[in-house]
Structures are given as structure tokens and as C-alpha cells.
């Protein structure tokens, strides 16, 4: 087992493409995940162990949102746990690529945890609104449901786009001779900045406002609007991309 420095260097060479990744994930979450992956490697943990650690941090934080009265202290603790859980969510894939111990079971477990996270985070906000929030109107209780819909549809549609795109590309490659490879498009920094509002790590920052219920509702509502707009843009983009992959 190599030194931590050696492991970190190897992990840097096992990174996924930065295409379609926001600045937060590229410069904050992935580097943090790389450090955690190195620690997990030296501790002898498997990628699935790391996924479960991620789930423990994340789900504990969401349970606290639902069960504990909002305060500044709670907001700081929730944000810290969510941020650490998100970093471990990056670490499991990095560890899998480093060790070659990834597989369909690990990918499945990772997606199950992610899907549960997206459902529970907005359910927790809804419960908090109902139990502790002095809401201007009961209509505010509909906001987490709408945000949850946008988040889950974006996640599922993106996952299907990836899987169906791979299947179509494989079918096309088997039906036609291989074309000369083209160099990958350069990573767009403008796109990386534009994607910041849709990044889960940026979304987690809103929980720092739990001590000020009005500010939290305003920030959460603004993010819900932004995520809904991103959903519409993503669905249009993915539909056109998949349509272009039709045979013939």
C-alpha cells in the first residue's frame, strides 16, 4: 500500500471528465472526495463501504432537518454533514476507479442512495415547514413537493439519457465501421459557472439559513425556480440528443 501522497497522485489520474461539471464539483467536491478516497483506500474500505458512509452522513442530516427545530447551530451542522456526505459520494467512484473494484452492484447502490437523498431532502423540508414553520400561507407546503418533482425527474431523466445514449452508440458502432477518433471538446468554463445553481453542493448552502426561516424560505424558493428552469432546458437538450441517435 503506497503513501497517501502516492495514492493522491494516482487518484488525480483516475478522474472523470470535467465536461458538464460545475465549478463547485470540479474545484471543491472532487478534490475533497479525492482526499477522502485516499483515506478510505489506506483504511482498506471498499467503494460500497464509502457509499454507505456517504448515506449515513446525508440521511442523518436530513433526519435532523425534519425532527429538530431550526436554528443557526442546526443549519451549520446540517450543511457540514451534507457537504461531507456529498464529498464521500464523489470518493466512492474515485476509489472504484483507483482499485478496479467497481461493478454494477456498486453503481446500483450509488444510484439508490442518490435517489433516496433527492426524495428525502425535500420531504425533510416539507416536514420542517409543517412542524416548525410559521408560514405566511399553507401554499408554502406545496413548494417542497414541486422542488422534489423537479429534482427527481432531472435525476431519472439524466440517468436514462446516459444509459440510452450508451446503448444507441454501441449499436451504431457495431453496425458501422469505426470512424477516426475526434479530440474531445474543451471544457467550457462559462458552462461550469452556469451550472452552479443546479449543483447539489451549492443547493446544500441554503441550509445555512435555517436560523432565519424567512431567508431560508426565500432561498429555497429561488433555488426551486432555478432547478425547474434547468429541468426544462435539460429535458429539451436530452430529447434532441436521443432523437439524433435514431438509426437511419
CA distance 59 to 55: 6
Residue with cell 470535467: 18
Q: In angstroms, how far is the first alpha carbon of the chain from the final one?
A: 51
Other residues' Cβ atoms within 10 Å of the Cβ of residue 231: 18
Residue with cell 461493478: 103
Cell triple for residue 26? 470540479
Confidence (pTM): 0.87
Helix extents (H) in the chain: 4-12, 23-24, 30-43, 47-67, 72-99, 104-132, 142-175, 189-194, 200-203, 213-244
Q: What is the pLDDT of residue 11?
A: 64
Q: What is the pLDDT of residue 168?
A: 72
Q: What is the pLDDT of residue 194?
A: 84
CA distance 248 to 245: 9
The tens place of each residue's pLDDT in the chain, 248 residues long, gives: 555 666 666 666 666 655 667 888 888 999 999 999 999 998 999 999 999 999 999 999 999 999 999 999 999 999 999 999 999 999 999 899 888 877 899 999 999 999 999 999 999 999 999 999 889 999 999 999 999 999 999 999 999 998 898 777 666 656 555 455 545 555 677 888 888 888 999 999 999 999 999 999 999 999 999 999 999 999 999 999 999 988 76
Amino acid at each position: 500500500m503506497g503513501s497517501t501522497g502516492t495514492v493522491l497522485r494516482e487518484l488525480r489520474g483516475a478522474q472523470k471528465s470535467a465536461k458538464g461539471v460545475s465549478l463547485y464539483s470540479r474545484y471543491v467536491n472532487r478534490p475533497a472526495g479525492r482526499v477522502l478516497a485516499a483515506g478510505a483506500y489506506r483504511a482498506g474500505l471498499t467503494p460500497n463501504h464509502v457509499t454507505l458512509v456517504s448515506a449515513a452522513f446525508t440521511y442523518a442530516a436530513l433526519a435532523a432537518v425534519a425532527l429538530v427545530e431550526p436554528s443557526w447551530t442546526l443549519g451549520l451542522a446540517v450543511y457540514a454533514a451534507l457537504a461531507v456526505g456529498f464529498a464521500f459520494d464523489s470518493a466512492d467512484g474515485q476509489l472504484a476507479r483507483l482499485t478496479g473494484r467497481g461493478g454494477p452492484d456498486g453503481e446500483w447502490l450509488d444510484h439508490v442512495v442518490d435517489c433516496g437523498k433527492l426524495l428525502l431532502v425535500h420531504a425533510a423540508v416539507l416536514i420542517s415547514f409543517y412542524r416548525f414553520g410559521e408560514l405566511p400561507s399553507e401554499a408554502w407546503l406545496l413548494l417542497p413537493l414541486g422542488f422534489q418533482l423537479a429534482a427527481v425527474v432531472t435525476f431519472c431523466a439524466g440517468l436514462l439519457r446516459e444509459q440510452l445514449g450508451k446503448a444507441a452508440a454501441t449499436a451504431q458502432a457495431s453496425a458501422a465501421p469505426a470512424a477516426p477518433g475526434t479530440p474531445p471538446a474543451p471544457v467550457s468554463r462559462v458552462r461550469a459557472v452556469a451550472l452552479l445553481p443546479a449543483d447539489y453542493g451549492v443547493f446544500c448552502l441554503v441550509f445555512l439559513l435555517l436560523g432565519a426561516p424567512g431567508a431560508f424560505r426565500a432561498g429555497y424558493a429561488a433555488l426551486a425556480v432555478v432547478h425547474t428552469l434547468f429541468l426544462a432546458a435539460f429535458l429539451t437538450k436530452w430529447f434532441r440528443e436521443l432523437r439524433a441517435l435514431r438509426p437511419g
